């Protein structure tokens, strides 16, 4: 290749590489889904400290019990302590997401909660409605079937 064409070729190649490696900003749906996936991963590891990283300071969790309305826990510290105690009582608990539906900063997760009860496999199905703000969970409202 003649020298007069090498420099323009290098410039074009560098520009193309810069364009292809540029970070593309996430859409709101993608950001919300990423936050939910990180939260659920930490949850299934029973890692309360990791969960704290994915919660806003003013996060809200609405538990499914006691019936009929559950209870509301407010603030990152209180929510993390709730989960820490819950993990200690439910060491084999695991949530399998059946479906995750995202719209903007909201997500609905259909799940199956599985564990052993009296030495036998047990499960219940439910739904969580999440609100995500700035890449963190601001609210998790839980509902169950049955």
CATH of the domain spanning 27-144: 3.10.450.50
Cα 134 vs. chain centroid, distance in angstroms? 13
* Residues 72, 64: Cα–Cα separation, whole Å: 9
* Residues 106, 36: Cα–Cα separation, whole Å: 10
* Residues 78, 81: Cα–Cα separation, whole Å: 5
Helix or strand run (H / E) with residue 6: helix 3-21
* 8 Å CB contact between 76 and 61: no
User: How many other C-beta atoms lie within 10 A of the C-beta of residue 55?
Assistant: 24
Q: pLDDT digit string (tens) for 20-59?
A: 555 555 678 999 999 999 999 999 999 999 999 999 999 9
Q: pLDDT digit string (tens) for 90-146?
A: 999 999 999 999 999 999 999 999 999 999 999 999 999 999 999 999 999 999 997
3-state secondary structure of 27: coil
């Amino acid at each position: 290749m003649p020298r007069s064409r090498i420099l323009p070729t290098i410039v074009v190649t560098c520009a193309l590489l810069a364009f292809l490696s540029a970070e593309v900003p996430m859409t709101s749906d993608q950001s919300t889904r990423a936050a939910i996936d990180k939260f659920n991963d930490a949850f299934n590891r029973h890692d309360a400290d990791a969960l704290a990283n994915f919660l806003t300071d003013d996060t809200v969790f609405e538990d499914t019990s006691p019936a009929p309305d559950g209870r509301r826990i407010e603030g990152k510290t209180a929510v993390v302590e709730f989960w820490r105690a819950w993990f200690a009582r439910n060491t084999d608990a695991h949530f399998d997401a059946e479906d995750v539906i995202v719209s903007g900063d909201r997500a609905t997760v259909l799940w199956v909660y599985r564990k052993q009860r009296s030495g036998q496999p047990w499960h219940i199905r439910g739904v969580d409605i999440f609100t995500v703000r700035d890449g963190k969970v601001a609210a998790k409202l839980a509902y169950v079937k049955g």
